Amino acid sequence: MSEPFPPTSRTRVVREANRAVYDREAIYQILDEAFVCHVGFTSGGQPFVIPTMFARVGDAIFFHGSAASRMLRNLSAGVRVCVTVTLVDALVLARSIFHHSMNYRSVMVLGTATLIEDRGEKLEALRVISDNLIHGRWDEVRQPTEQELKATAVMKVPIKEASAKIRTGPPKDDTEDYDLPIWAGVLPLITRAQQPVIDPAMRMKADLPASVKKYGRG
């Protein structure tokens, strides 16, 4: 077991507390398996939750976007955020509709997002976000120009307050419902790549790159 995130008054799981996980390594494993997070923040009293790609490096989460986007404009000021990541592993099909559920692994990180100003750190963060999406692609393609870099804002959220919630296993039905002749169980779900589809605008022949050939998740 790695050093846990001590649960705070804000991150202690109350509902279904038996599903709570505060172990750092377990939390990082969930973050690293995902490539989309949801960033929640309030602006002018209105909550917004923005789905975005991300990567974890060490004890921080990095995400990027257009410097002109509302999310990045708001967060550049050093705004408090709630970042969540969800992996759905299975549908849990019970005998009653009430007890239907999902097997999942989710993480919630509470923290403050800050803008990365340093050029080197920004480039490295962009590389790891790209790598988290499809490993090796960064080195196969044209690198960002100064103008593209300027148009891109990269944010960092240090991971200090975090919790995970994990559900596994079969459905849990009411005792009397186990006598019902209704199929119950779990339907596992996975995310996997299909056959690559070449861009119809390709002007020349090009071999399938290694990053695409080797692509795999989980």
Residues engaged in binding ligand FAD (CB under 6 A): 10-15, 86, 88, 102, 104, 106-108, 163-165
Alpha-carbon dihedral 168, 174, 176, 177, rounded to 10 degrees = -60
Q: Which is nearer to ligand FAD, 7 or 144 (CB)?
A: 7
Q: Which is nearer to ligand FAD, 17 or 141 (CB)?
A: 17
Residues pairing with 7 in the sheet: none
Pairing of strands 152-158, 79-93: unpaired
Amino acid identity at 158: P
Return the closest-CA partner of residue 171 out of 102, 88, 86, 89: 102
- CB under 8 Å to 96, separation ≥6 — which residues? 173, 174, 177
Token representation of residue 99: 């007890």
Taking the complex as a whole, the smallest distance from the CB of residue 46 to ligand FAD amounts, in Å, to: 20
HSE (CB half, 13 Å, CA atoms) of 130? Answer: 16
Taking the complex as a whole, the smallest distance from the CB of residue 164 to ligand FAD amounts, in Å, to: 5
- CB under 8 Å to 201, separation ≥6 — which residues? none
Q: Which is nearer to ligand FAD, 26 or 53 (CB)?
A: 26
Q: Which is nearer to ligand FAD, 141 or 187 (CB)?
A: 187
Taking the complex as a whole, the smallest distance from the CB of residue 17 to ligand FAD amounts, in Å, to: 7
Q: Which is nearer to ligand FAD, 9 or 175 (CB)?
A: 9
Taking the complex as a whole, the smallest distance from the CB of residue 45 to ligand FAD amounts, in Å, to: 20
* Burial degree of 96 (CB within 10 A; 0-12, 13-18, 19+): middle
Name the DSSP class of 23: B
Q: Which is nearer to ligand FAD, 26 or 123 (CB)?
A: 26
Taking the complex as a whole, the smallest distance from the CB of residue 23 to ligand FAD amounts, in Å, to: 13
Taking the complex as a whole, the smallest distance from the CB of residue 161 to ligand FAD amounts, in Å, to: 8
- CB under 8 Å to 190, separation ≥6 — which residues? 218
